[in-house]
Structure 1
Amino acid sequence: MLSAYDPEAVTIICIDPPGYGTSRPPDRKQEINRCKKDAGYCIKLMETLELTPFAVLGWSEGGRTAIHVGGQGKTLVSHIILLSTSTQVDFRGDMAFKGEEIKKFLIDSL
């Protein structure tokens, strides 16, 4: 998807928060406020690179981080783009992660 953007029109910066991918050590701590913490790293990075204001795009859990980036960096963020983002997991999502067939929990939604 990122290759579809014109490099003459946009600069794309991808983050690897502490504990993810090649950003180890430390190992990732699955804290309840991890996305909020990651937002601070994102904002500091963009300020250090002098790339403000900026648009933030978050996919999946990165969308949660993007929401926090927007909240913490209100004067720095011009746009927030969320892709396949869930902001909370209810019992149906919890069951999906346990390997259950999700369709049986979504009958009323189909």
Structure 2
Amino acid sequence: MIAWDPPGYGYSRPPERAYGKDVYKNDADLAAELMAKLGYNLYSLLGWSDGGKVALLMAIKYQSRIDKLVVWGTGATVTDNERKTL
């Protein structure tokens, strides 16, 4: 099991966390990059709250890498604008 905090979140300081319009998309890309660097080509995701939003975005953008997805305590929608940026 890999437990990950995005840069600037939780105990991963520094850097400071920037909350721009692409914050969840950026987190999804960084998490996918981390898993690739660790040698995981297929994995399951568990995401709570903001992590659930990141997991949903990863499941859209990196479909071939995601085996199972569990999210809770998060919004279950992706806006058309967010979908276009993927």
Instruction: Provide the TM-score with structure 2 as the length reference.
Output: 0.80
| Unpaired runs of at least 5, structure 1 | 1-11, 89-110
**Structure with more relative contact order (C-alpha pairs < 8 Å, separation 6 or more):** 2
Q: Aligned pair count?
A: 77
| Unpaired runs of at least 5, structure 2 | 78-86
Q: CA separation in 2, counterparts of 1:77 and 1:67?
A: 10
What does residue range 38-57 of structure 1 map to in structure 2 within 5 Å? Answer: 38-57=27-46
Please give the root-mean-square deviation of Cα atoms over the aligned residues, in Å.
1.4
Runs of 4+ in 1 over 2 A off after TM superposition: none
Instruction: Provide the TM-score with structure 1 as the length reference.
Output: 0.64
- Higher-Rg structure is 1
The percent of aligned pairs where both chains have the same amino acid is: 34
Q: CA separation in 2, counterparts of 1:20 and 1:86?
A: 19
